[in-house]
Amino acid sequence: MLRAILSLLADVWRLSIPYFRGEDKWRGGILLAAVVALEVGWVYATVLLNEWNNAFYNAIQEKDYAAFTHQLWLFAAYAAGAIIVAVYQIYLRQWLEIRWRNWMTDKYLTAWLDNQTHYRLRLKGDMADNPDQRIAEDIRSYIAQTVSIFIGLLNAMMTLASFAVILWGLSGEFHFTLFGRQWDIPGYLVWAAFAYATVGTYIAHLIGRVLVKLNYDQQRFEADYRVDLVRVRENGEQIALLGGEKVEQGRLLDRFSHIVHNYWGIMIAQKRLTWFTSGYGQVSNVFPLIVVAPAYFGGSIALGQLMQTASAFGQVQGSFSFFINAYATLADWKSVVDRLIGFEDNIAAARAAAAGSAYRRVPATDGAMLAIDQMDVRLPGGRSVLMVDGVSVSRGEAVLLTGPSGSGKSTLLRAVAGIWPYGSGAVALAPEARMLVLPQRPYVPVGSLRGALAYPDPLAEHDDAALREVLEAVGLHDFTDRLDERALWPAIMSGGEQQRLSIARALLVKPDVLLLDEVTSAVDEPAEAALYTTLRARLPATAILSIGHRSTLKPLHSRHIEITREAGAPARLEGRGTLIAPAA
Ligand SMILES: Nc1ncnc2c1ncn2[C@@H]1O[C@H](COP(=O)(O)OP(=O)(O)OP(=O)(O)O)[C@@H](O)[C@H]1O
């Protein structure tokens, strides 16, 4: 158990310390110091209140009205101080939490989105479940829980230190005779509180430890369920056309049944733990009185001392049992910490995969804009799918790649674009050449059509005339007046229209090297011919490497290279292929 706690603390340190060393360290540090100072004030107030107990109850016992009213005034002053501390404690704490969360969210988003890590995390299906939950939900609850546990622990330690001293003083000496011998136990009330709390903590640990895994699983099941719901929403049209609603409902209910099943586990464990903690809490109300009662009834202490001792005992025992009451929170905290650590490790692994990638970027020679040599494209598991050698594209050339489905054409484009980390080889690019890759399924973001067209460039970069002009050029005449319309474009535009929009982007960007992955698969053949003709006419210097299946594509290119594949071996793409005579 000690080892588990130490490793948890090491993880918490790893997750928290960057904030207090980062750009926001001053403000974060000052807020944390203020919260700690208020907590110290709070504990000091409880110490004063404990002494007040003694004076107040003695005034009652002695029927001393003047002392009684004096003590009431004192109480009013303490209470006023406590109210101010309570208000600002929460306020400053929330302030710290939101600053910290802001910082951590920024850091995680950067780590996730930078260098295409978000994409590589997906490549290996097992690498990170639900990054959205890690970034949105787990960071929030991690910070809230860490601050709350830190402050709780600080309070428990300070309360323990102050009240143990008071209680030690109040204990006097406890004498009893056992086995014919007199035993003296100094500070016996402190030991009694300690023994009571230790037994309680240990029993709570035994009962509550199953909650760690159960809470972890619960979060995962909830997130999986949410992801499946989103998937149904996103693929609504396909599901409706295929009539897949029953299957989807079955799958969703199946996902949900995991939540229910696990929740029952949590309920049962929680019930068992509550039996114990609430019983323990009730006993704690009277336990100190029982322990001190013999001294009171024996006449050695007054009512004030009884009340002060009982309250001090309660404080000591309460701080010892901090872990008992915080058990469920600690279990939950551990699962949040585990998930964030797992996420950070996955990000690091994805970055290492990228850094360890054996693809090399070299400057192109011999006038080629793009050349691919000795490339071995592999899958995440290590299997080789495609070997490429001696393939190059010159300025103004349009090279068509064809080959069997699944032979690795799209993966080759990913490797050339630098987002695919598995495999090895050299990608030579002309110095300063700008490359644009248009994937098979265009990405049309939600928002204004202007934003979707210019994506991901800043809007100010292209003027309206240029945007309208490229829309006209790709045949999207009906959309030229809708630049500022905000809509769910992916649901409104047809597949072919989305592909045209994607080609319009290429016309805007005017890249030096353009990689096209079946970008006209959803338009008819005459439109396809028109689009390619437009591309080549308007980007006469661009080196185009495109992938396609249709035979009608051939005359639209200047060269054709075919991928060959023999059973049991990786597909091969080699050499210069065949020249295509320009259509008459
Ligand atoms: N992330 C991945 N994990 C495992 N295998 C993958 C992954 N991505 C692609 N593959 C596999 O790699 C092979 C090549 O896929 P790719 O999409 O490159 O083929 P393609 O030649 O473009 O096919 P098509 O002509 O059908 O579009 C396929 O067998 C595919 O299943």
Whether residue 123 has its Cβ less than 6 Å from ligand 1? yes
Whether residue 155 has its Cβ less than 6 Å from ligand 1? no
Shared domain for 339 and 373, answered yes or no, is no
Flag whether 247 is in a domain.
no
Look at residues 288, 321, 355 and tell me which one is the last residue of a structural domain.
Answer: 355
Whether residue 303 has its Cβ less than 6 Å from ligand 1? no
Q: Determine the distance separating the centroid of ligand 1 and the alpha carbon of 406, expressed in angstroms.
A: 5
Whether residue 186 has its Cβ less than 6 Å from ligand 1? no
Look at residues 355, 373, 399 and tell me which one is the last residue of a structural domain.
Answer: 355
Flag whether 540 is in a domain.
yes
Tally of structural domains, the chain? 2
Flag whether 565 is in a domain.
yes
Q: Determine the distance separating the centroid of ligand 1 and the alpha carbon of 412, expressed in angstroms.
A: 9
* Structure confidence at residue 249 (pLDDT): 95
Shared domain for 549 and 456, answered yes or no, is yes
Residue whose CA is closest, atom 7 of ligand 1? 379
Residue whose CA is closest, atom 23 of ligand 1? 406
Shared domain for 18 and 148, answered yes or no, is yes
Shared domain for 407 and 307, answered yes or no, is no
Whether residue 411 has its Cβ less than 6 Å from ligand 1? yes
Flag whether 501 is in a domain.
yes
Which tokens in the block code for residue 148? Answer: 């709350």
Flag whether 329 is in a domain.
yes
Q: Are 312 and 50 in contact (CB under 8 A)?
A: yes
Q: Determine the distance separating the centroid of ligand 1 and the alpha carbon of 129, expressed in angstroms.
A: 22
Give the integer Cα–Cα distance in Å for 294 and 311. 16
Shared domain for 493 and 454, answered yes or no, is yes
Shared domain for 167 and 34, answered yes or no, is yes
Shared domain for 504 and 559, answered yes or no, is yes
Q: Are 157 and 40 in contact (CB under 8 A)?
A: no
Number of the ligand 1 atom closest to the C-alpha atom of 123? 1
Shared domain for 412 and 540, answered yes or no, is yes
Shared domain for 332 and 377, answered yes or no, is no
Give the domain extent around 319. Answer: 1-173+301-355
Number of the ligand 1 atom closest to the C-alpha atom of 413? 18
Closest alpha carbon to 251 in 277, 222, 229, 284: 229
Residue whose CA is closest, atom 16 of ligand 1? 408
Whether residue 379 has its Cβ less than 6 Å from ligand 1? yes
Residue whose CA is closest, atom 12 of ligand 1? 408
Flag whether 218 is in a domain.
no
Flag whether 187 is in a domain.
no
Please give the model's pTM, rounded to 2 decimal places.
0.78
Whether residue 384 has its Cβ less than 6 Å from ligand 1? no
Tell whether the torsion through CA atoms of 432, 433, 438 and 444 is positive or negative.
positive
Strand partners, 392: 371
Which tokens in the block code for residue 493? Answer: 């535009």
Whether residue 396 has its Cβ less than 6 Å from ligand 1? no
Shared domain for 563 and 415, answered yes or no, is yes
Number of the ligand 1 atom closest to the C-alpha atom of 407? 21
> What are the Cα distances from residue 249, in Å, to 224, 243, 256, 258, 503?
14, 11, 10, 14, 38
Whether residue 407 has its Cβ less than 6 Å from ligand 1? yes
* Structure confidence at residue 526 (pLDDT): 92
Look at residues 331, 355, 379 and tell me which one is the last residue of a structural domain.
Answer: 355
Residue 124: exposed, middle, or buried by beta-carbon count in 10 A (0-12, 13-18, 19+)?
middle
In sequence order, the 6+-apart residues with CB closer than 8 A to the CB of 231 are none
How do the pLDDT tens digits run along the chain, 584 residues long?
778 888 989 999 999 999 999 999 999 999 999 999 999 999 998 899 888 988 999 999 899 999 999 999 999 999 899 899 989 999 999 999 999 999 999 999 999 999 888 888 887 665 456 788 888 889 999 999 999 999 998 999 999 999 989 888 887 766 656 677 776 778 888 888 888 888 888 888 888 888 878 887 888 899 889 888 988 988 887 899 888 999 999 999 999 999 999 999 999 999 998 999 889 888 888 888 888 787 788 777 888 888 888 888 888 888 877 866 666 677 778 888 998 998 999 899 888 888 878 888 889 887 889 999 999 999 988 899 999 999 999 999 999 999 998 899 999 999 999 889 899 999 999 988 999 999 888 888 888 898 889 888 877 778 889 999 999 999 999 999 998 898 888 888 999 999 999 999 999 999 999 999 999 999 999 999 999 999 999 999 999 999 998 888 888 999 999 998 888 888 888 877 777 876 65
What is the domain-level CATH number for residue 460?
3.40.50.300
Sheet with 578-579: list strands edge to edge: 435-438, 513-517, 543-547, 398-402, 559-562, 578-579
Mutate to test the pocket of ligand 1, among 409, 515, 516 (most ligand atoms within 8 A of CB): 409
Number of the ligand 1 atom closest to the C-alpha atom of 440? 27
Shared domain for 318 and 452, answered yes or no, is no
Flag whether 183 is in a domain.
no
Shared domain for 514 and 394, answered yes or no, is yes
